[in-house]
Structure 1
Amino acid sequence: MVARRPYHQGVKLDELRGGGAPTLGEPLPIELGNATYAARGRLVDGLQTVEHVAAWFRDNRHRFAVPLDDGDLLRTNERDLAATRALRDAVRTLTGVAVRGGDAPQEAVETVNQQVRAAPRWRELSWGGGPRALACGSVDRLATARAEIAQQAVDLFGGPDIAQLRACHAPGCVLYFLKDHPRREWCSAGCGNRARAARHYERNRKTS
């Protein structure tokens, strides 16, 4: 494996600034897809730079089976930026199709499958400090983490949970979420409050 050149030499990981993508605790594929979001009525790309990608994985690394240490994230490069954005866009496209119906673009499907295949993974037993299973990969850990997201996307879109995918219909929101409660209608409490306020305003406007 070719050594990866550090992206931020001499910079602490917690100093990296993210692209503002919301953290909602959704399944990792949906969380990554939501790295395209809306602010003040405009679409925002939350993964515009290598730094944004490193920060996104930093903020979510506790959710991966593969251990991502600071060095892994500080070595994020332009290749990681392109691959992460491609996976984000593919997942977002497929989520939209799952919610609205229709045929999925083959390019999006193949992007997900390619990223699964790009990083073969397996689990090994570790006994230091007690027995536990460690996720291992044959390529660098960031690629392995992306493959983990892609595999979860395969399981999500190919499994029963696809029926629970929803688009948030709060005013101006473009995020998706997994409906994990029968009464859940919004991606977040904030969006629910905005939607109720908008309905209240509309009712008052019609009766005034």
Structure 2
Amino acid sequence: MATLLHIDSSVFPSTASASRSVTDAFRTAWQEQHPEGTVVYRDLSVNPVPHITADAHLAGFSDPATHTPEQAAAFAERMKLIQELEQADAVLIGAPMYNFSIPSTLKAWLDNVILMGRTAGVENPSAKGTPVTVVASRGGSYAPGTPREGMEYVQNYLAATLRDALGMDLDFIVPELTMAPQNPAMSELIPLFEASRDKAHQEAQEKAKALAARLVA
């Protein structure tokens, strides 16, 4: 049975969150395709993981036998997150754009799971090849050729960490223009937002089904 690690980071509930609605669609399709599978869920907005500390950081570069009690405790919390990642057959991440970047809670999770010599910085990092689907929702458009293309730091950053550092098999779903229904200045873009939303949900369902079928084949 395959295990899906599902991580959400939006500060909004599913009824008001573009990223959560798409990750929900992905997870539902996954479970329909693979009802006996396991889903490990982390809502980083409701239950944020600890931000990296000096003890947690330094413990990652030293022999566990030399850890202080504080380092041992901090490193144990990191290891829980790392092992969840390593044991997952697939990963799903909701990563809305806040102020041009990812939520700080998601950055904290990444800081914990990126461990040089284990998950990164080696020829065969421990989560290498694991498929990860990121729902990178954003209020405007930062697509190639748009005026704000140079301000797109979500996909660029997550490609550097998830794909380049951790060696994971990265795929994006990008619902955009999500602020159009709330911002009167963007009202003319509502049809484009609706098309992007519908495409994202369709992609989520198709990708989840294909991935579940591939992993349990």
TM-score of Structure 1 vs Structure 2, range by shorter chain: under 0.3
Question: Scaled by the length of structure 1, what TM-score is found?
Answer: 0.28
Tell me: higher relative CO, structure 1 or 2? Use CA pairs within 8 A at least 6 residues apart: 2
Whose radius of gyration is greater, 1 or 2? 1
